[in-house]
Amino acid sequence: MPETETGSAGADADGPAEAGGGLDEVADELYGVRPDEFIPRRDEAVARAREAGDRDLARAIGRLRRPTRAAWLSNLLARERPDQLEGLLGLAEGLADAQRTLDGAALRQLSSQRRKLVGAVAQEASRLARAEHEPVGDGLLRELQEILEAALADPDIADEVRSGRLTRSVSYSGFGPGARADAAPRPARTRPAPPRREPAEPAPEPEPDEDERERERRERERRAERERRERALAEARAEEETARDRQFAAEGARDDAVAARDDARDRVARLAAELESAREAERAAADAARDAETAARAAGREAGAAASRTARAQAALDELDGS
């Protein structure tokens, strides 16, 4: 079984359906850049999605995990040498069949071919990485070989490798698919029995010399130190992922609060504009009322003066008629 859990962009970034197309495009771009460029490019993509108003896409992009350097090498192969990678993964079926049927001869032949192909494909990945100005040491090359070996042993890991979006290193500690319960070993070719000889006295087991014991001790210490550092790396990655999750949750809450604040400000602005317009209308109506009042008074005075003139004219006419 795989010693470490496999991871790819598809599993880590379950964005909403409406953001799927954009997320795929961004993921294809991000998992094609060098490891040291991944985080800044991802942050730029998150910022672009937020500026476009797509907060769901921004969160989905933010959940995309940076690949380990070995996973990046695997992704590089999937992108640049898919045929060569598929040729290697094509051995998986033959290896599985030989393992299930306990065909030792076929298994030995395929295992030898597998080792050669794994080494050749890993070297090709190293050449591709150097072309990208990414140095590849022996340790990193071994880590990539472990990924390829795991892909040959596990179809799910093979699919992750083919996707070009692997995020973590994986290894395989088993011996491939298990044999069938009814499987029996194929008989080996019979050879003539060698002539009988008198048993010789068994040679004493040589005592390991001091240098050998020292090498074994150093190797044990090296393995223990590697395991300790791998645990520390796994813990650091888990803490980073947890912190990232908290960051994205906080940023989502912030975005919601900012949107609510902006909506409230827009409503206040609309109401303030309506209030100012109403006040302008009130002032205009008040001015019109004052002008109308003034005009009404002037008209009243003119009407009074006209009435006085009419009365005087009537009196003058009456006086003439009476004389």
199-211 pLDDT tens trace: 455 545 555 567 8
pLDDT higher at 203 or 303: 303
pLDDT of amino acid 231: 77
Helix (H, G, I), strand (E, B) or coil at 197: coil
Domain count, the chain: 2
Q: What is the pLDDT of residue 182?
A: 35
Residue 167 lies in a domain: yes
Q: Which residue has the tokens 């960051």?
A: 247
Q: Is residue 42 in a domain? A: no
In angstroms, the Cα distances linking 128 to 69, 77, 79, 198 are 13, 8, 11, 60
Residue type, 2: P
Query: What residues make up the domain containing 78?
Result: 1-11+65-177
Question: How many Cβ atoms from other residues are within 10 Å of residue 62's Cβ?
Answer: 20
User: Which of residues 271 and 111 earns the better pLDDT score?
Assistant: 271
Cβ burial, residue 51 (10 Å; 0-12/13-18/19+): exposed
Residue 318 token pair: 């009456």
> Does 3 share its domain with 148?
yes
DSSP symbol at 200? P
Q: For residues 251 and 257, give the distance between their C-alpha atoms in angstroms, rounded to a whole number.
A: 10
Banded pLDDT at 173 (limits 50, 70, 90): low
Confidence of residue 75 (pLDDT cuts 50, 70, 90): very high
Residue 286, domain member (yes or no): yes
pLDDT at 266: 74
Candidate from 100-109, 121-130, 237-246, 282-291 with smallest mean pLDDT: 100-109
Whether pLDDT at 176 is above 50: no
Q: Could you tell me if residue 88 is inside a domain?
A: yes
Percent of the chain with pLDDT over 70: 71
pLDDT at 39: 93
Concatenate the DSSP letters of all residues of 66-135 into one string. Answer: PPPHHHHHHHHHHHH-HHHHHHHHTHHHHHHHHHHHT-HHHHHHHHHHHHHHHHHHHHHHHHHHHHTT--
Work out the pLDDT band at 189, boundaries 50, 70, 90.
very low
- 65's CB contacts (< 8 A; 6+ apart) are 7, 9, 12, 167, 168, 241
The pLDDT, as a whole number, for residue 85 is: 84
Q: Is the pLDDT higher at 54 or at 192?
A: 54
Q: Indicate whether 146 and 274 sit together in one domain.
A: no
Query: For 79-133, how does the pLDDT look when each residue is reduced to its tens digit (9 = 90+)?
Result: 998 888 888 887 766 665 555 555 566 556 666 667 777 888 888 888 988 888 8
Q: Is the pLDDT of residue 154 over 90?
A: no
pLDDT of residue 5: 45
Report CA torsion sign: 25, 28, 31, 33.
Answer: negative
Indicate whether 178 pLDDT > 80: no
Q: Are residues 6 and 120 in the same domain?
A: yes
Mean of all residue pLDDT scores within the chain: 76
Predicted local distance difference test score (pLDDT) of residue 20: 41
Domain-terminating residue out of 136, 161, 177:
177
Q: Are 260 and 120 found together in one domain?
A: no
Q: Which of 146, 177, 208 is a domain's end point?
A: 177
Amino acid type, 110: L
| 150, 177, 204 - which closes a domain | 177
The pLDDT value given to residue 16: 37
Confidence of residue 179 (pLDDT cuts 50, 70, 90): very low
Residue 46 lies in a domain: no
